Every structure is written in structure tokens, then in C-alpha cells.
Structure 1
Amino acid sequence: MSGRVRYLLALAAISVSAYAAPLRPQVDVSGYVITADLDPSKNELTATAKVTFTALEDLSSVTLELNNGLKITKLTDGAGATLSADRVATDSTVHITPSKPLAKGETATYTFEYAGVLKDADTSPVEGIKIAAVADPISILLYPGRWFPLSGLYTDRFTAEMHIVVPKGETAIASGAGGHKDIAGGKTQFDFNWTKPGLPGTVIAGKFAEKTVGNIRTYTTEKHAGDAAGYGETAAKEFEFMSSTFGQPESTRVNLVELPDDAVSSTWGPEIAAIAGSRWSDRNSYRLLANTVSRQWWGSEISPATLNDAWITNGMARYSELMYMEDANGKNSLQSAIPDISAGALAYDTVPISSIGRLDPFSPQFQSMSYEKGAMVYHMLRWEIGNDNFIKFLRNLLSVYTDKSVRSSDLQSLAGKMNPQATTLEAFFAQWIDGTGAPAFQNKYTVFRLGSSKGFRTIGQITQDLDLFRMPVELRIETDGKTEIRRIDVSGSESQYTVETFGRPRRVTIDPDNWVLKSTPDLAVRVAVLRGQQQAAQGDLIAALNEYQKALDANKNSSLANYRIGEIFFLQKNYQSAANAFRDTLRGDGDPKWTEVWSHIKLGNIFDVTGQRDRAVNEYRLAIQTNDNTQGAINEARARMASPYKREKTDE
């Protein structure tokens, strides 16, 4: 399996773990007191959780979520009365019968005693993804793993006092660290207390080495200890950029923690940014790290009120990643990333972003809409109101709603205060939050020479297919001399413009810097490829091939589509077809550039597998000559120059 495929599967794992199956919240949990004992030698968790909540409606039954691997051994209410609970494994819930019905607004406290084996993904609330496991050398009790009874995943904020017991020699990391002490039985108890309404439900424990880099404290296994300093420095730079941009978060401490490689690629909680160990040494994982660090603001400091509002934090986490990339590598790096984000935004744009709570939150549709389209909404809002106002708006959003949940209407109201043309923003949110689709711009223009050396006048018309669309669009006029930039208000299906320039216009381009989400032939190819990648990540290779063929139908020279086809044939051990596809990649349009270096590597792999070492070495040499180290390509080529590629067990 190639590095690119692993990266795709990693992204799929990250996105799948984002939300629970949709449940209408019956209760508002305000706080927990949890004591948990971890036994990695037996993969066992034994815990007691005192849950305080308020009924949101009259209730004769209370429903909470709990990992299927955990069995409730005792359940009592605040008066000490024993309660009964029925387990529903299909949605990882327990249904509790109170000693007397609860009235709307009534507050109650239930105490759960429970235990069980948490080892792999078999009992996970998210099918196929390990997000709760007690193991050696790393135990993960992630908030989405429902290792304690909860309601309203990522939407219901609470406080948490936790006492985590681990074998002596291990360290536990969670939100609101208080201290630790050795206790009987050769164990150590770590105490945590997060007193602000938030989402402090993640605990990671293991045999960690600690290192401090500025305000970043790293926790790694011995295997990755050598990567701690460099990765910690990167996290510190990202945290500093985001602090200067968004304002100081609720806590200036960040614990950068290693996750096991067979779990999710990343997760977060207050004061926690956790990344899979294999990514710590990957220079290209700084975007994943930036996205995760940004959650101290977008998820921890504020959170969505409902799943319909998930785009507010998911989208801004993605856009924070892009903003850091822009700051670190320049404006061009942001612009080059936008086409891929746009493809994700349009891949499943069939329902308004304000209604994504209707979708299965584990689906590619939900993820594409909340992350990619959400990021594009912020990107376009930045263009609409200006960069300075955009930063003020973000800071204001975080300040007004600190420790609170946010709705789309709240965000729109605050954004309106940043723009004197409130009616323009009403049209903006109507299109991008409550509507679907994107304009397909067409530009027709005529150039007239003005007399007496006064220059030229360009009279044009921008057309597009969304009758209700209204938004300013950038127009670039390239002339014999100076390039002119104009901001044109596009409203409805036809918009006229007139521009005067001194030099003769040679080319007029609509939205050259990709500030607006729009439909283009190139984007249609990217959308089909993205959908194919998501099908491949879910194991449906036939459906993936169908999507890639759609991309080739739109652009028969698409290097990206041909490369993805080659990957699938390679996984199926159809080496001749794979080789043909990788050669078509090299003969294609070369977009994106990394397809060249990785096609040479994959051809080298094929020649190694088929016993043609000389031809393999030549392909690795050609890969090195590209001088493109995307996803460690040159490092991989050099390694294969030294020793032949062999099929991995996962390929079997």
C-alpha cells in the first residue's frame, strides 16, 4: 500500500471519528465526576461515573450513550435507589428507567459503576475505528469512544473531575491536570479537573517520555522520542500564530500526545492535541497538526449547538490549517490548496449546509459539507468583508460565545456587524448556508480604443446560472502594460461591467485567486476523483473506479485520475493494468505535480515485484531526479534503490 493510500485512509479515519450517530438530546449534562482504573495487561477498564444532568423534556426514560464493550454493574440515582438500564447495541445506547418520571427542567444525578474489555474496534460506536482501547504501550479513552455515559456528542458542554488510575511507570494525560500520587497495588492516580463548560472527555495514558518545547509539552513512546523536539517546535509555531490571530485560548498549555498508529490519525480535547506516532516524523503532516491545534479555539472554546451547526467549528478548523499554511509559506500556498477544498465542498452539495444534521454524520457527505464547504464559507466571507474585518469577526465570535454553543444564526448576526451592507451578507448566507450549488461563470467582453491616446474601454458581461446569486467578484485585466484589478458586483444571472485601462487588454479573468466557490471543468475532475478516493477508503474499489472513469470522461489527460486508477490496480495485484495507468499518468497533464514522482516509484515497485530489478532501479532514479519530496517520495525512492520493494502483509 502506497504512502498516498495510507494518507487517504488516515484522513478517512479522522473524519469518521468526528461525530456520533444523531440522537435528539433528552438531557443536558452539566458535569461528571469519574474514577477510572486502567489495566493494560487485561485490556480492562473499571470505572465509576457520577453524571449530573437536567431533563430537556418530561421523561419516563433517560437515554445516554455508552461503549458496547462496557457493562453496567450498578446504577443508582441521587437518593441511592437502584435503577434498571436496557442496552441497545445497534446505537451504543442505554435506556434508563428513573425511580419516578422526570419533569422538564428537573436536575438529577445518576451514578454508574461499569467495567469491560476495550481492545479494538469491535465494540466501537464508530464502525471499524478504534477510539477506545486499554493497551500497552498506549491506552486511548477518546471522547467519541463513549467510555463514559454521555449525551449530545460535541454539542453538549460539561465540566469534568476525573481520577485516572494507571500502572506505575505510566502517565495519564487529560484536560485540567491537577497532580498525581502513587497508590496501593503498584499504581499511580492522576487527577484532573476541568471546571469550565467544555468537552474534556479524552484521556490518553501510556509509557511516555516527556519533553517541554515552549508552552507545548510532548508525550511520546520511546520509538518516537527523537521526533518530539521537532514536532513540538512546529506545534509551538502554529499555536503562536493562532494565538496572535484568534486571541489567547482558555488555556495556554497544550499537551502534544502520541496516538497508536492503528487508531485515528488525530484527536483533541481542551489542552490536548494528539497525533498518530507515524505522523510525527512526516514533514508534510504540519497541516494535520495545525488543524488539530486549532481545536483549542474551534471546538474547545466554542462548539456547535446542533449537528446542523457543525460546519462552524469543523470548517474553521480546516480554514485555520489553511491560514497557517498561508502565513508560513505565502499566499500562493493558500491559493494552490483552494481547488482541493472546493472539490470537497462540491462533492456532495445536495443539501444546504444548514441542514447537514439530516445526513449520516459518518458519511463522506457530512464530512465534505462540514469541513470543506465550511472552510470555503469562511474563505468567501473573508473576501466579502475584508481581511481585517474577518479577523475582528473571528475574535468577536470567540469572545462572545466563550464556553458556549453557537448556531449559524449567531454567526450570521455577528458577521453582519462587520459589514455596513447588511443586505449583501443576507444574500451571502442565503446562498452559501441555506442554498446549494455554485456559479459557473462565463465572461463575454468587447474592447474599444478611446481617442487621443486615452487608452481602452472594456465593456463586458458576466453570466452564471444561479438566478439569486449576489456577491462581489474579482476581475483581473491583463494589458500590454500594467495589470488592472477590479471588484465587480455580480447579481443575478447577468451582470454588466465597464473597465477603462491605459494598455490594451489581452486577457480578462474572473476570480483569478479563487476567492469564490465556483463550478469549472477542472473542478469537475477533482470532484470525481475525490468521490473515488472516498469510495476507495471505504473499500468499494469498483465504485471508486467508476468515479475515476467519470474524471477521465471530463479530462482524458487527467494525471490524478490515472494515478488513482493505477493505485487500485496495484492493490488488486493487476500489475500490467497498474503499469499502464501509471504510464498514462506520466503522459497526462501533470496536475498535481506529485503524480510524476510517485508514478515512477510505483512503476519501480511493479518491476521489483515482477523480478525486473534493473528496470525498477531506473524508475527510482527517475523519481529522485524530479526533486519532488511530496509525502517523502524521494526518501522512499532512495530506500528502494538500496533494497527492493516487497509486498507488505497488508497488501495480501
Structure 2
Amino acid sequence: MTMWTKARVGFGALAAGLATVMLATTAAAAPTPGAPGVGDPYYPGAGNGGYNVGHYDIRLTYQPKTDELSGQTTIKATATQDLSRFNLDFGLTVSAITVNDAAAEFATDPADPSELIVTPSSPVAKGQSLRVLVKYSGIPSTVVIEGRYTAWTRTATGGFAVSQPRVAEWWFPSSDHPSDKATFAVSAEVPDGTSALSNGVLAGKDDERPGWTRWNWKSKYPMATYLAFIALGEYEVHQSTWRGKPYITAYDESLKPEWLATAKEQIGTTPEVTDFLSDKFGPYPFEAIGGVAVNGIGYAIENQTRPAYGTSFWDLPEPGWVIAHEQAHQWFGDSVSVADWSHMWLNEGFATYAEWLWSEERGLGTADQLAQAFYEKYPADDPFWQVVVADPKKIFESAVYERGAMALHALRGEVGDRKFFEILRSWHKLKKGGNATTAEFIARAERVAGEQLDELFETWIYAKGKPATSPNGADVQVKGEPKSFDGMVKLHKHFVEHGHGQH
């Protein structure tokens, strides 16, 4: 009797203990909302927490006469926490959402109209697949975020979405931050005679209903959301191949004749520039190349596989620098994307240095000459030297482009050409398809160089103030302004003033 009583008491204590553990476990595992941003230091609301996207399947219909866009996007993702709800970045009008084939509740955040809050019919467990289907419509050119800008440009024959750092909100729901890369399929139905241009490979066209044509695009390599684009309107489209890959260019037919001629000539150099950069940076990282000349913006942007070029460049004496710049981004910016926007120099400093390399190749000025010319351009008291390249606060600063390039040239001078280009090639090979930080690049440079480079990077990307010597070093004297310098200065002025559409 006594033994049974003790056993029963012991069992009761054990049961109570188990219940406590179970309650604690249950409490710990209670689903919670995903964060409304990924925590970017410059753009806190960009992207979303609680899941990672693997693929976007975007299916649209567009009416150029009214700028009406309708359709649906299917997002395939994986939950990274137990989710009670999650956010999408989006600005158009949503009519229905399902999560894993069950209807979900949704609402726009009153404090931020670009934040769409989705509540599934039941919580989503960590590690569970998410299939989110969003149906929507709207007039993108009327959508204004933060009360001051739209990334959708209305044209005489349609519209397009190209911008940085935010653009997806105007045409598809997403986690709009470069740290959440995914593959894409983009399908757009437009009236016959209208083109629908996007990234990757043109998988075909369908005539699903009289008077309309559906253009189907696929991108098999991971892509940041701001690099996905769509251009809809009357374009002159050219298709050929480069090294077995589709080479597709397009030109807005409303461009002034002189601009159209220059655009064709310059974008036509894309294969030659890509061959050259492949030799310097390693194999071209994507399945297609090309470019689109648009009408209605002044900037250019490195859309993956197919940059978009605005009209500001076609009046420049040397517009070809923009082709070298945007094609270099296919390696640095597109294939290797920033982990967050504070690392912008890993995009722009590298693309600017590609201009210097292309200038050397064309015999219009060496990198030594260009490094010296940009160093001398700014006096010691110029605000240019007060920008910390590794943390510029504003991503479209001249120093991000030009002092970033100077840093790379200083690195080249320190380690020599063989090791320098091995650093660039191995950096891309190591990080292709993913995201990167400045610290990771420095670690790679030091590993390949076989030496500590703290002082060099402190001088050129971390410290304020004009360095005592140019990127060429104290012992290298370079005379004469290179022929390419003035054109590059004007090019960078366009980048900084227009800021790829947003600041």
C-alpha cells in the first residue's frame, strides 16, 4: 500500500512535470508574425521576415491604352519560423489570396500602403512550404509610395518598371530586398503589336485569344527582386545569339531618330564588352544577354541579363561607358548581390572600375590615368572625401562609384595584376548566385594576396578625408588627363543625380 502510494505520487509528479514541459514547449512554439522588413540599415521596411522565397511565377494582362495591369503571382517559399501571419511588399489592389490552396485574410498596413499583411487560415510551421497565390489589378502609374515617388513609368505606348532599390511593388507582390533572391517566370499578355519584355530567355509566345499575344519569359538563375523588370509598349525587338545564348535587344520606337541610332550602335557593343569582361571576371554568369533602350527616364539600371538604358546617355560624347558599367553589374551586383544596401560599393565601385578597364582596352586612358584624374578632381575639402564608402548612408553617392573604384585600383597596385584579377575571378566564383558583404570581400582579397590589407581598406573605404597619396601610390606619377575621363564624369553625374529613379 505504501509502495503503491509512493509510486502513484511519483507518477503524478512525473505527469505534472511532463505537462509543465509540454506547456512550455507549446508556449515556445506558438506561431508569431513575420517581421515587416529584413532589417536593412538603410531601408528598414524592405523585404519581409519569416520566410524565404524560392520562385515567382508572374502572369499578367496589360492594356496600354489605360495602363491597367491585372493578373496573379504565385510565390513559392519556405517558412523560416512558425508563422501566424506574414507580409508582402505590394502596392496594387488585391482581390484574393490563398496560402497552400486555402483562402487567406489580407489587409494593407495603414501606416505603410506598400505592406500587405497576409493571415493564413492556419499557422504555417517552420520549414513548411508556402504556396501563396495573389490576384490583383490596378493602374501602376498612379501608385505612389512614401508619398513621393513611383517606380512605374508611363509611356506613349505603354509602361515599364525599372528602378532601384524598390520596384517590385508596382507590378508583383514580393519580399523586395536583394537578400531574398529567387528564380522567375514572367508571362504578360498584351494587344497584338505591343511587346512585353522581361529577363532571361523568351520561352515563347501564345495567341490565347484574338487580338492578344502572351510573351513568356523564364530566368533560371536566382535574381534580386529589383533586378526583375517588365517593359510593355511598342518596341523594335532584335533576336540573335552570343556564344550560344539568346541575345535580345529592344528599342522604344518613339525615341528620337538620333537617339535611336546611337542606342542601337552602343547596345550593339554588348557582346564585345561581355567578351572582354568575361576575360577579366570569369565566365558570364547568366543564360542570356541584351539590353533595352527605353523612353521616359534618364538613368540606366542593370536588370539581370537585360539592362535598361534611359535617354540621358545618347547625347554623351562617349556613351559606351554605360554599356561597360551595366554589363559589369551582371557579375557584381546581379550574380553577386549585396547582403544589404550599406555594401553598395561592391556593386558600383566594381562597375565603375570596369569602365576603367574598358578604357584601357580601347586605348582611351589607362586605369592609372583615370585613378589619378578622379583623385585630383576633388580638393581635400570637398564633401566627396567625407563619405565613408563602406557605409555611405546614401547609396547613390559619387564616392560609392569613384572612391570605390579608387579602392580597387589601390588594391591592384598593392598586390599586382595577377593576384588582383584572381581576387575578382575567385570572388565571383565563390559568391555567385548569392549575397556578400564588404568584410567577406576583404577576407577573400587577403586570402588570395597572402597578406593583411587592413591599412589599404581603412584608407580607401572606411576612413573619411582625402588620402595623402593617390590610388597609384606615392612613387607612381601619371601625367595627362585620359580621353575617357570627361565622358565618365558625365556618366557618373547622371547616376548620382537620377539615382536609378529613387533616393
Alpha-carbon contact 1:326-1:334 (below 8 Å) kept: no
| 1:629 match | none
Amino acid at match of 1:23: A
Which of the residues 82, 99, 122 maps onto 1:77? 99
Report the AA paired with residue 414 of structure 1: R
Partner of 1:313: 347
Taking CA–CA contacts closer than 8 Å with sequence separation of 6 or more, which of the two structures ends up with the larger relative contact order?
2
Q: Alignment partner for residue 116 of structure 2, among 94, 98, 108?
A: 94
8 Å Cα contact 1:44-1:134 kept in structure 2 = no
Of 106, 130, 134, 1:108 maps to 130
Partner of 2:276: 241
Deviation at 1:125, TM superposition (A): 4.0
Aligned with 1:46: secondary structure?
A: strand
CA distance in 1, matches of 2:189, 2:318: 36
- 1:397 deviates by 0.9
Task: State the shift of 1:195 in Å.
Answer: 1.9
- TM-superposed deviation, 1:394: 0.7
Deviation at 1:44, TM superposition (A): 0.8
Aligned pair in 2 of structure 1 residues 513, 92: CA closer, same or farther (>3 Å)?
farther
What residue is the counterpart of 1:170 in the other structure?
194
Judge conservation of contact 2:385–2:466 (CA < 8 Å) in 1: no
In the aligned structure 2, how far is the partner of 1:345 from the partner of 1:117?
A: 47
Cα pair 2:188 2:215 within 8 Å, conserved: yes
1:182 maps to a residue whose letter is: D
CA deviations 1:278-314 (Å, max 9, x no partner) are 5346443222222122222122221111223222122
Give the 3-state SS of the residue equivalent to 1:428 in structure 2.
helix
* Cα distance, 1:371 vs structure 2: 2.7
Q: Who is 1:51 aligned against?
A: 75
User: Residue 252 and residue 96 in structure 1: after superposition, are their counterparts in 2 closer, same or farther (change >3 A)?
Assistant: closer
Please state whether the residue corresponding to 1:220 is helix, strand or coil.
Answer: strand
8 Å CA contact 1:474, 1:512 repeated in 2: no
After TM superposition, give the deviation of residue 36 of structure 1 in Å: 1.0
SS at match of 1:400: helix
1:210 to 217, 224, 237: 237
1:559-580 alpha-carbon deviations (Å, 9 max, x no partner): xxxxxxxxxxxxxxxxxxxxxx
Q: 1:105, 1:210 → 2: CA distance? A: 43
- Residue 202 of structure 1: how far off its partner (Å): 0.8
User: In 1, are the aligned partners of 2:57 and 2:75 still within 8 Å (CA)?
Assistant: yes
Closer, same or farther: CA 152–24 of 1 in aligned 2, 3 Å: closer
Q: Cα deviations across residues 546-566 of structure 1 (Å, max 9, x unaligned)? A: xxxxxxxxxxxxxxxxxxxxx
Say which SS state the counterpart of residue 101 (structure 2) adopts. coil
Q: Distance in 2 between matches of 1:30 and 1:102?
A: 17
Q: Is the 8 A contact 1:78 1:108 kept in 2?
A: yes
Of residues 350, 360, 379, the one that matches 2:409 is 379
Q: Percent identity?
A: 22
Look up the match of 2:429.
399
Could you tell me how far apart the structure 2 residues matched to 1:323 and 1:207 are?
35
Contact 1:213 1:236 (C-alpha < 8 Å) held by counterparts: no
1:188-227 equivalence runs, <5 A: 188-199=213-224, 201-211=228-238, 215=242, 216-222=247-253, 223=255, 224=257, 225-227=260-262
Preserved CA contact (<8 Å) 1:345 1:372: no
Partner of 2:370: 334
Deviates more, 1:192-201 or 1:328-337: 328-337
In structure 2, distance between residues paired with 1:123 and 1:45:
12
- Judging changes above 3 Å, is the alpha-carbon distance between structure 1 residues 208 and 182 closer, same or farther for their aligned structure 2 residues? same
Q: Contact 1:211 / 1:229 at 8 angstroms: preserved in 2?
A: no
The code of the aligned residue for 1:209 comes to E
Q: How far 1:209 sits from its partner (Å)?
A: 1.6
In the other structure, the counterpart of 2:206 is: 181
CA distance in 2, matches of 1:344, 1:317: 25
Q: Secondary structure at the match of 2:406?
A: helix
**2-structure distance, mates of 1:23, 1:250:** 26
- Which among 111, 131, 151 is matched to residue 131 of structure 1? 151
CA distance in 1 between partners of 2:120 and 2:373 (Å) = 53
What residue identity is the alignment partner of 1:249?
Y
The residue identity in structure 2 corresponding to 1:221 is D
RMSD: 3.5
Pairwise CA distance, 1:339: 3.2
Residue of structure 2 in register with 1:254 after alignment: 289
Q: Do the aligned partners of residues 58 and 42 (structure 1) sit closer, same or farther apart at CA in structure 2, a change above 3 Å counting?
A: same
Q: Secondary structure at the match of 1:47?
A: strand
Partner SS state of residue 38, structure 1: strand
CA distance in 1: counterparts of 2:205 and 2:137, whole angstroms:
23
TM-score, structure 2 normalization: 0.75
Counterpart secondary structure, 2:449:
coil
3-state DSSP of counterpart to 1:183: coil
Task: Give the Cα–Cα distance (whole angstroms) in 2 for the partners of residues 345 and 202 of structure 1.
Answer: 40
Query: What is the rounded CA distance, in whole Å, between the counterparts of 2:131 and 2:208 in structure 1?
Result: 28
Secondary structure in 2 matching 1:271:
coil
Q: Is the 8 A contact 1:217 1:232 kept in 2?
A: no
2:65–2:158 CA contact under 8 A, matched in 1? no
Q: Per the alignment, do residues 282 and 181 of structure 1 end up closer, same or farther by CA in structure 2, a change over 3 Å counting? A: farther
8 Å CA contact 1:38, 1:134 repeated in 2: no
Change (3 A) 1:512 1:345: farther
Distance 2:442 2:54 in 1: 28
The answer on 1:148 being equivalent to 2:172 is yes
Structure 1 match to 2:5? none
Tell me how far 1:124 sits from its aligned partner: 4.2
8 Å contact from structure 1 (residues 242, 294) kept in 2: yes
Q: Tell me the amino acid that sits aligned with residue 289 of structure 1.
A: I
Instruction: Tell me, yes or no, if structure 1 residue 23 matches structure 2 residue 46.
Output: yes
Question: 1:381 is matched by which residue type in structure 2?
Answer: L
Distance (Å, rounded) in 1 between the aligned partners of 2:146 and 2:408: 29
Contact 1:345-1:376 at 8 Å conserved across structures: no
Whole-angstrom distance in 1 between the partners of 2:298 and 2:271: 22
Residue 277 of structure 1: how far off its partner (Å)? 4.0
Q: Secondary structure at the match of 1:296?
A: coil
- Answer with 1 or 2: which has the greater Rg: 1
Aligned to 1:601: none
* Cα contact 1:43–1:133 (8 A) shared by 2: no
Aligned residue type for 2:404: G
Amino acid at match of 2:162: L
SS in 1 for 2:344: helix
Distance 2:332 2:237 in 1: 26
- Please give the alpha-carbon distance, in whole angstroms, between the structure 1 residues aligned to 2:83 and 2:456: 41
Structure with the higher fraction of residues in helix conformation: 1
When residues 383 and 49 of structure 1 are mapped into structure 2, their CA distance, relative to the original with a 3 A threshold, is: same
Using the alignment, how far apart are the partners of 2:457 and 2:47 within structure 1?
Answer: 26
SS in 1 for 2:286: coil
SS at match of 1:417: helix
The answer on whether the counterparts of 2:58 and 2:73 sit within 8 Å (CA) in structure 1 is yes
Contact 1:163–1:189 at 8 Å: present in 2 too? yes
CA apart distance, 1:248 = 2.3
CA contact (8 A) 1:213 1:233 kept: no
